[in-house]
Amino acid sequence: MPQAIRTVFRDPAIRYGIKFGLAGILAVFIALFLRLEEPTWALFTVFVLMIAQYVGAIAEKSLFRIIGTVAGGLLGYFLTASFEQNPVIFVILVSLIVGACTAMFGQSRYPYAFLLCALTMVVVVGNGLGDPDNSWQYALWRIEEVTLGILVVMLVQSQIWPRFAREEFLRNSRLALADLQDCLRESSQAVFDGHPRAAAAKAADFPARISALRGLLDFGARESQYFRDRLPTYFEITSCLSRVAANLATMTNPLPAGSYYHTHLRRECLELGRSLEAALADLAGSASTQESRAARSEEMTAAHQRLESRLLSVHDDPELPDLAPEAIVAMSLHLLALEEIRKTIARMQILLDSLPTGWMEGTRREPHPFTSPIPPPFWIRSGVKTTIAVAAALVLLNWLNPPGGAILVLGAWVFTALNATSPGGRGDRRAFHYVITSTLVLLVVCLILIGIRPFLSSYAVMNTLIFSWSFLWGYLSFQTRGITIPMQLAMLLIVSILGLNGEEPISVQAVANIFFGLSFAMLLSALVQRLLWPSLPQWELRDRIVELLRILRQGMTASLPLWEQVRIALIPGEAAIRINHLQLPFCTSEDRQNLREYLGNLHQISTHLLVSAGGLSTLTAKNENPGDQTRIAELEKEIRAHLQAHEIGMKTATVPLADCDRLSALLTSWMEWIVATRQRMLRENCPSLDILQYVGLAGRLAESARGLLHAKTQADNLHLPNYMGDYVL
């Protein structure tokens, strides 16, 4: 039994639930001990803050929570005291500020400052309407309770099973290197033996892990000065991991059977691949030292030199100029990827060797932002919907005074604003379903509350209820990695139950206020969400594919900021979740499979374009060959036209109007040009690696064009009009 208990307690979700329950009880206990006016707000703070699971993240959220709370409290007091007697101006100002804060919460470098500003203002305004002149008290109480909640969360998170982002970054980096080693083991033989492309697909999905690593860097910098001083080095290491994965994803084309390269380059290529695997294995091991890295570096250099010598020895082979274009491109893509992986691994070795001596000391490089500086359309629309929901709740509260009071305004904001962050990809499709089921659940819970009213005055009962509810909420939020709509309801419900004063007889009306307040809030939020810019799986899928195509077009003409590179990595996973929620009879299982294949093809195209963007034009410019520049510009222009055609087709749910005949002709001409250019470079005795790089980059562009031709066929088989409408309420 003790062993079973220890096994249970090793479960991170259970640990997180226990921490959540302890934080909830401790916050309420201290609030009651200090006789603070609103212990519910301390508990609410625990619910919001405990979502951040790292000590560094808690520090950041706590600081911004205090800033947002003070700003929201002052704004709430100022607006309530100054404009409550002028309802039109009052409702407009409050709603606009709440909506703007919600939009910035979705896409801001300091999201929690905006989130808490909106939340605090809603609480102060909702509670202060009945007594505007004394609304300052609610602002003050709110600040006191929030500060208490922050201190409790920081204590629990830092002392009970603490999770440090810096430690998880180092551990996850080693795991990433080990996975890259496995991918390389399969991919390094792909050009000769072929494979099911499983390794390439795994490598193509790798950037999402890089994004997670960079998030750990951000949190880890708040936990340790030592770690923060070396942040630029760690940041560059994650970029190296991304480059290795991107190059592995391009190693997909096998050579034709009996190719010249099977006989002449197989051994040297496999030796280089094995040396790269050994270097990655060394980096992934906890026992990696400067000496071991130096030994692996020498092995890579020796293998690279043997390959280069072999390329030089066959340079004048009369068979070489007449090889098939497919073989030339496949081998060039493979060798170029191996060479870039070798250089990247060498760079990681240098970075790791530099850490003990402070190689980056005196250099401060801020990590690039992961998000756009302005909210995207999705969050702007969410801000507008929140504005309308809060305005409607204030109007109802001010003029009709329905049961529920301030919980109506708070609930309308929570259900509308936080639904945009709900995991699962269902969006607003089941908004009215949730109203019905949640109302029934609320009815049952409130009937139980009426029956156990005498017991709610017992601290033992209340503490048991708080711990159990908080534990379950924490356990579920750890599993879902987000807050679902039922969890939002549960959070507001437990806070409302705690608001019942057990020291006095609890009336049926007080319990009824909880039921009607939360029910009306859910209904109001559902009406706004479902009737104004509803977020549906099919539309979210469409928007993400359109976003991917737009970013790819931009990336062909200009360097992409980091946040857009991160979006390229994340969009395929987000879109795949939405595909799973498309329902019968409008979207069949065959339709869903066609969408998955279309999305996978676009992802593969994005990998080729992201790795090769601008590289070929740069090399051609160095060679001062205007004719080649014109040819490259022509193919790139046609690729952009096809991307735009798919973008328009997805927006309008129509077949993309792409000229496949022209692209096919350009691709045929392009392959002939690759062969002719390679022959010219051979005659001019250009270095073998220069030829390799040039042909490899040209091959990546050819793979992108070939992928787009296939994407057109796939898009023609999609029945977008059948399932891109608003067909389920």
pLDDT tens digits, one per residue of 281-297: 998 887 788 888 899 99
pTM to 2 decimal places: 0.76
> Given a cut of 90, is residue 647 above it in pLDDT?
yes
pLDDT value, residue 381: 86
Question: Residue 705's pLDDT band (boundaries 50, 70, 90)?
Answer: very high
Residue 72 CA to residue 66 CA, distance in Å, equals 10
What is the three-class DSSP state of 316?
coil
Helix axes 87-106, 377-395, angle to 10 degrees: 150
**366 located within any domain:** no
Q: Are residues 552 and 514 in the same domain?
A: no
pLDDT value, residue 363: 41
pLDDT value, residue 711: 93
Residues 6+ apart with CB under 8 A from 16: 53, 474, 475, 477, 478
**205 located within any domain:** yes
Tokens of 586: 């409008």
Residue ending a domain, among 531, 551, 574, is 531
Q: Could you check whether the bond before residue 585 is cis, i.e. omega within 30 degrees of 0?
A: yes
**Torsion region of 367: left, alpha or beta (phi above 0 gives left; psi -120 to 50 gives alpha):** beta
Q: Are residues 12 and 140 in the same domain?
A: yes
**728 located within any domain:** no
Residue 105 CA to residue 99 CA, distance in Å, equals 10
pLDDT value, residue 484: 74
**340 located within any domain:** yes
Question: Which segment of 204-208, 578-582, 627-631, 660-664 scores lowest on mean pLDDT?
Answer: 204-208
pLDDT value, residue 271: 92
Q: Are residues 175 and 321 in the same domain?
A: yes
Question: Residue 358's pLDDT band (boundaries 50, 70, 90)?
Answer: very low
User: What are the pLDDT digits (tens) for 120-167?
Assistant: 888 888 777 766 666 677 778 878 888 888 888 888 888 888 877 777
**639 located within any domain:** yes
> Given a cut of 70, is residue 359 above it in pLDDT?
no
pLDDT value, residue 598: 92
Question: Which segment of 194-203, 623-632, 654-663 scores lowest on mean pLDDT?
Answer: 194-203
> Given a cut of 70, is residue 443 above it in pLDDT?
yes
**What is the domain count for the chain?**
3
Q: Are residues 262 and 293 in the same domain?
A: yes
Residues 6+ apart with CB under 8 A from 698: 329, 332, 616, 670, 673, 674, 677
pLDDT value, residue 367: 47
Q: Are residues 577 and 504 in the same domain?
A: no
- Cα radius of gyration rounded to whole Å, the chain: 30
Residue ending a domain, among 531, 555, 587, is 531
Q: Are residues 181 and 299 in the same domain?
A: yes
> Given a cut of 50, is residue 729 above it in pLDDT?
no
DSSP H helices in 499-625: 508-531, 537-555, 562-580, 589-612, 615-623
Tokens of 261: 């390269």
Mean pLDDT on 80-93:
83
Q: Are residues 353 and 400 in the same domain?
A: no
* 724 φ, ψ (degrees, to nearest 5): -95, 5
Sign of CA dihedral 710, 712, 718, 724: positive
What is the three-class DSSP state of 365?
coil
Between 456 and 594, residue with greater pLDDT: 594
Q: Are residues 171 and 274 in the same domain?
A: yes
> Given a cut of 50, is residue 186 above it in pLDDT?
yes
pLDDT value, residue 279: 92
Mean pLDDT on 330-338:
85
> Given a cut of 60, is residue 389 above it in pLDDT?
yes
Question: Residue 644's pLDDT band (boundaries 50, 70, 90)?
Answer: very high
Residue ending a domain, among 357, 392, 418, is 357
pLDDT value, residue 365: 43
Of the ranges 396-405, 645-654, 692-701, the best mean pLDDT one: 645-654
User: What are the pLDDT digits (tens) for 492-544?
Assistant: 888 777 777 655 666 777 788 888 888 888 898 888 888 888 888 888 888 88
pLDDT value, residue 364: 43
- Cβ atoms of 234 and 217 within 8 Å: the answer is yes
Mean pLDDT of the residues in the chain: 80
Give the CA-trace dihedral at 620, 624, 630, 634, to 10 degrees.
10
**644 located within any domain:** yes
What percent of the chain clears pLDDT 70, i.e. is strictly above it?
A: 84
pLDDT value, residue 648: 93
What is the three-class DSSP state of 423?
coil
Mean pLDDT on 385-390:
90
Q: Are residues 159 and 176 in the same domain?
A: no
> Given a cut of 60, is residue 445 above it in pLDDT?
yes
Question: Residue 361's pLDDT band (boundaries 50, 70, 90)?
Answer: very low
pLDDT value, residue 221: 66
- Cβ atoms of 29 and 23 within 8 Å: the answer is no
Q: Are residues 692 and 714 in the same domain?
A: yes
**362 located within any domain:** no
Question: Residue 624's pLDDT band (boundaries 50, 70, 90)?
Answer: low
Q: Are residues 527 and 577 in the same domain?
A: no
Q: Are residues 323 and 200 in the same domain?
A: yes
> Given a cut of 90, is residue 680 above it in pLDDT?
no
User: What are the pLDDT digits (tens) for 231-242?
Assistant: 777 877 887 888
**Torsion region of 614: left, alpha or beta (phi above 0 gives left; psi -120 to 50 gives alpha):** left
> Given a cut of 80, is residue 596 above it in pLDDT?
yes
The Cβ-side half-sphere exposure at 561, using a 13 Å CA radius, reads 9
**482 located within any domain:** yes
User: What are the pLDDT digits (tens) for 602-613?
Assistant: 988 887 887 766
Map 107-135 to HEC letters. Answer: CCCCHHHHHHHHHHHHHHHHHHCCCHHHH
CA angle 239, 237, 620 (to 5 degrees): 45
Amino acid identity, residue 294? A
User: What are the pLDDT digits (tens) for 406-435?
Assistant: 788 888 888 888 776 666 666 777 778 888
Range of the domain at 308: 167-222+231-357
> Given a cut of 80, is residue 33 above it in pLDDT?
yes
pLDDT value, residue 8: 58
Mean pLDDT on 109-129:
78
Tokens of 118: 């909106």
Question: Which segment of 357-361, 525-529, 612-616 scores lowest on mean pLDDT?
Answer: 357-361
pLDDT value, residue 299: 92
pLDDT value, residue 423: 62
The Cβ-side half-sphere exposure at 84, using a 13 Å CA radius, reads 20
Question: Residue 6's pLDDT band (boundaries 50, 70, 90)?
Answer: low
> Given a cut of 60, is residue 578 above it in pLDDT?
yes
CATH code, 635? 1.20.58
